[in-house]
Amino acid sequence: MKQADCIIIGGGIAGIQAAIQLGRYKHDIIVIDSAQGRSSIAKAYHNILGWPDGVSGKQLRTLGRQHAEKFGVEFTDDTVTSLEKKQDLFFIQTKNDREYQAKMIFLGTGITDNIPPIKNIYSTLGTSTYICPDCDGYEIMDKQTVVLGGGNTGAGMALTLLYWSKDIIYVNHLKSKIDDEYRDKLTANHIPVIEEEVCEVHVDANQELTGIELVSGKIIRAEKAFTAFKGNKLNNDLALQLGVQINENNHVVVHPRTKETNIKGVWAGGDLVAHSEQVTISMGDGTQSAIWIHKRLLGHPLPYD
């Protein structure tokens, strides 16, 4: 059984940032990463300090991993299936039948987006198809944009995007019910609604979106797209195994200053915690958690000890 001062579950942005900070404290750190996170599929982030032309999630993760490894952090590609606390230690089992023991745990298991398996859609994520208007609304400024969604969720996204572009079409891919309140607002803002499934995203040689094709064969030309589907899954299963408190939206509840959960020795950050789901917030969560994990490992009192 391998032992560590802290095991980080999830090698996304929050987890890697925590690993870098804890590695610089010279603690024994292991990161267990399933490589399934949102940042592993995002082709570009455009709102991060220092990357004016954008940076892909893959590049951030690769550079971050190299950075952490400089300080002796160990990475393993695996999936944690069981997390248990016995007295003051944590015991982990993985899909590949590995066992670990740690004094502290950081949970950075994030969120899994509900994106239908539409042909070519994944190749455009972050470059011409987006998920988060706070991250990427700017990218559709005054451009023809199609919203692929379902029911009120997609309608709400279409209305939100009016801040950046007035040329919006909403395709209710799921053909879910749209309440009259939303329909009235869509009509008032001249947003067409198409009740039909999308079978393919059309792309150019650079894998940039040029339009979408409906199951009827109709093609809708567009420069940009947003997805808006209910059912994104917060990966809080391991937190729940330990009895970690979650809120009404299933996000893990943490102390605002330290990022520790209600279970002593368990910390969390990133999309698992923050509803705003921003890379830069994930970085901050990782660093903030690491600072207080370090203090706990040294036996120093925390604000609530």
Q: What is the DSSP letter of 302?
A: P
Listed residue (110, 19, 11) closest to 293, CA to CA:
19
In the predicted model, is pLDDT for residue 41 greater than 90? no
Listed residue (203, 197, 39) closest to 112, CA to CA:
39
C-beta of residue 32 within 8 angstroms of C-beta of residue 4 = no
Question: Bridge partners of 4?
Answer: 102
Say what angle helices 57-69 and 13-24 make with each other, to 10 degrees. Answer: 20
In the predicted model, is pLDDT for residue 277 greater than 90? no
pLDDT for the residue 42? 85
Mean pLDDT of the chain: 96
pLDDT for the residue 299? 95
- At 204-221, the pLDDT tens digits run 999 999 999 999 999 999
Burial of 271 per CB tally in 10 Å (0-12, 13-18, 19+): buried
CA 119 to CA 219: how far, in whole Å?
Answer: 14
- What average pLDDT score do residues 115-144 get? 94
CA 192 to CA 213: how far, in whole Å?
Answer: 16
pLDDT for the residue 134? 93
- What average pLDDT score do residues 295-304 get? 94
- At 156-177, the pLDDT tens digits run 999 999 999 999 999 999 999 9
pLDDT for the residue 297? 98
pLDDT for the residue 29? 98
For 24-33, 37-46, 258-267, which range has the lowest pLDDT when averaged over its residues? 37-46
For the chain, state the CA radius of gyration: 21
pLDDT for the residue 275? 80
- At 45-98, the pLDDT tens digits run 999 999 999 999 999 999 999 999 999 999 999 999 999 999 999 999 999 999
pLDDT for the residue 305? 77
pTM above 0.85, yes or no: yes
- What average pLDDT score do residues 125-136 get? 93
